[in-house]
Amino acid sequence: MCTQDCDGQIVGMRHCKHIGHVANGVCMNANTSERLEVADLPLILALSREKTLAGAAEELGVDLSTVFRRLNALEKRLRVRLFDRSARGYQLTAAGIRAADTAERVETELLALDREISGRDQQLSGVLRVTASETFSNSVLPPLFARFHEAHPRIQLSLVIDNRVLDLGRREADVALRARRPTDPTLFGRRLTGIAWAFYGSSEDSTALRREGASFNFARQSVIGWDEPTRIVVGEWIATHVPADRVGYRCNSLLNQLVAVRSKLGIALLPCYLADRDHGVKRISGVLPDLASELWMVTHQDLRNTARVRAFFTVVGDAIAAERRSFEGQT
């Protein structure tokens, strides 16, 4: 061990319990630093984004009291208030805005570095995080994931089932299956197929849904609608074209709507790839051209050449594209 004399000079290398005054000062200052540390940045980012202690705690994976304690300790250490507490939640002060802006830049640089390093990975092993909607994850992906695992057993798939659009730039997922064309120039996407929608009823009901001009006649039908307010195109279509008194049941899950149709609770507007596979329901209308959408497989540009991502695009992407006719309601 390196030791020092009373003047702070190195006198030799030997084990000893004595610490010179220079080394002691460094240690004491490290424990009482008034500087912002890298370890403080996740707390500032989480609270600035979520605005509440509970939201920040969930984002950080800790309990609420821990966030409260860490924030108080940080502000005491820096001798400046970073957040104002109000009825609207935690709002950044001028000092807090400066700290949050810096934290954002550091996070952006670290994420870019992470993607760059991952993008050079040519090993068919490791974890691949995939995100898709609840409907697609349950009705389409399981057999395709089994096929992928058989082809690449050293790659561990992690599925994030979420109807929200996750941030691929922040590595919330590596690959996303989305019903929309990517518009962000930092993303790379492959169009797999179109997605068709039609009305479905119970397979035991022989009633067909008849058109009257540009619309349908729902006079004898009980329609399954969406819980309002809805932000999806299909829900808006139902709200616009189906009289309110014909909606007998509302639900914000396509999987539940499918089960409801099977149980003769009403008819529902469903994607063909979901309903055509179920023998308990049958199509009672033609596909609706104005609801046609697309299915895209998307990743970040920095990850598109990663071996794991390329393998997923090939195995799962090709398998979905091969079933294009069923997705587009042509079966």
List of E strands, 173-273: 175-178, 187-195, 197-202, 211-212, 215-216, 223-225, 247-250, 268-271
The pLDDT of residue 265 is 94
Give the other-Cβ count within 10 Å of 309's Cβ.
Answer: 22
Read off the pLDDT band of 2 (50, 70, 90): very low
Q: Pick the residue with more confidence: 201 or 117?
A: 201
Q: How confident is the model at residue 302 (pLDDT cuts 50, 70, 90)?
A: confident
pLDDT at 42 exceeding the cut of 60: yes
Mean pLDDT of the chain: 85
Gap between the Cα atoms of 169 and 190, Å rounded: 17
| For residue 16, pLDDT beyond 60 | no
Spatial separation of the C-alpha atoms in residues 327 and 123, rounded to whole Å? 32
Looking at the predicted structure, is the pLDDT value of residue 202 above 60?
A: yes
Contacts of 81 (CB under 8 A, 6+ apart): 75, 93, 95, 96
Lowest mean pLDDT among 49-53, 165-169, 253-257: 165-169
pLDDT of residue 9: 44
